[in-house]
Amino acid sequence: MNLRLRRLENDFRELTDFLRDHPFISLLKTEGDPPEKYHVAYRVRSADRKGGEVAVKDRHTAEIVLTLDYPSQEPICRMLTPVFHPNIDPHLICITDRWAAGESLTDVVVRIGRMLAYQTYNIKSPRNGEAAQWAAENLQRFPLDDADLAREKQSAAPGVDPPPVRTAKPAPAESSGSPPTRAAAVPPKQPEAAAAPAAPPKAAPAVPLAVPQVSRGLHPSSSPAAGPVPCANCKTPTAAAAMLECRSGHRICGECAVACRVCGAVMCVLCDLSRCSVCRGVVCPSCQAFCHFHRQAVCRDHIVACGECGIQGCDRCLFLCSGCGRHYCRAHFDQGRNLCAACKETDMPEKPTCPYCRRQLSRRGGTFCPSCGQRL
């Protein structure tokens, strides 16, 4: 299974676990194995324009398509039901200004729900100008729904940091919040959290110990008892000792790692990867050059400079002199005789070269070039 299929499989597993018994979001159908297209239903209050009036609507359906370039490219999202929102038009949902490959499909689903509920919106760069003007005139009404769409299972880690951050928003809105959200936010109270450290014997096997184990598992010197760590790209649980760290700091498994063809530096598919336009190998920024002629990236092994003016280009854009063996640009090379200006003045005998790969030919009467195989 390649990296993309593994990422799709893990995204589907994570999303189905997240949406199980979710009070506001449900999965209607999927297409593909593993799924590449999702239809997601939302039960949150949002705005819809009918005629000249803006009304509140609480049932919505969105479509999410994971393209062939996912996760390097953001998913294509659109609404299947009409919505009046500054950042949503009939053809596209603007889920983010800058997409990061480390974001999961669950993050996208939650983000769309927050946009529908007007918990997040941007009226400075809208896709729907009329909706942006309406939103600017009705800021006091937002959010239209304060549902906690990113709710987490409190039973898994009642004392971890994320639940208090998410329960801080619904706390003041006791009268307008949804019952499922407030019920999940009430159990972790401050007095109980303060009493937990007072009983060390009971706190030892509890969940707080599992969090340091995962964090220690990120280092090579971790204990063998530490649990598996999810890969930052494909989300596959991997033993901590087998995890790698790329030059950008991403924690990845071995199958998501990519090595620079020149220096061997560890990179991953979450990084901004560049390929040499000559050999198509992946190169890191330190080993990357730029061809002045065809305006593309070239690795350090295929960059040469003109022996006359010093301009840099790849070894396919510069010509190899059959006399001195140096590369020259078009302005300082005689293609008729395959010689540079200096060698041409010495009346050196002409040596035949291939017009495609510009390598010297062993004999003139050949039909095919022995180096590149092109017909002469």
Q: Please compute the mean of the pLDDT values over residues 62-73 and round it to a whole number.
A: 90
| Among the ranges given (186-195, 286-295, 362-371), the one the predictor scored with the smallest mean pLDDT | 186-195
pLDDT at 251: 86
**DSSP secondary structure letters along 299-328:** EGGGEEE-TTT--EEETTTSEEPTTT--EE
Domain ranges of the chain: 3-153+164-185
Helix-helix angle 105-116:3-19, to 10 degrees: 50
Mean pLDDT for the chain overall: 76
CB neighbour burial string for 310-339, b if at least 16 within 10 angstroms, e if fewer: ebbbbbbbbbbbbbeebbbbeebbeeebbb
Return the higher-pLDDT residue of 12 and 180: 12
Distance between CA 207 and CA 149 in Å, rounded?
24
Above pLDDT 70, what percent of the chain?
Answer: 73
CATH fold for domain 3-153+164-185 = Ubiquitin Conjugating Enzyme (3.10.110)
Over the stretch 93-142, which tens digit does the pLDDT of each residue have?
998 888 877 788 999 999 999 999 999 999 888 889 999 999 999 999 99
pLDDT at 330: 82
pLDDT at 253: 85
Residue 193 has pLDDT above 90, yes or no: no
Return the higher-pLDDT residue of 362 and 271: 271
Let me know how long the chain is.
376
Q: Are 105 and 75 in contact (CB under 8 A)?
A: yes
| Among the ranges given (73-87, 115-129, 172-186), the one the predictor scored with the smallest mean pLDDT | 172-186
pTM metric for this prediction: 0.51
Provide the Cα torsion 77, 122, 111, 24; round to 10°.
-100
Residue 230 has pLDDT above 90, yes or no: no
Please name the helix (run of DSSP H) or strand (run of DSSP E) that holds residue 356, with its range, or none: none
> Residues with Cβ < 8 Å from 209, sequence gap 6 or more?
203
Three-state SS at 113: helix
Q: Please compute the mean of the pLDDT values over residues 294-304 and round it to a whole number.
A: 85
pLDDT at 362: 57
Three-state SS at 51: coil
Return the higher-pLDDT residue of 275 and 190: 275
Q: Are 239 and 253 in contact (CB under 8 A)?
A: no
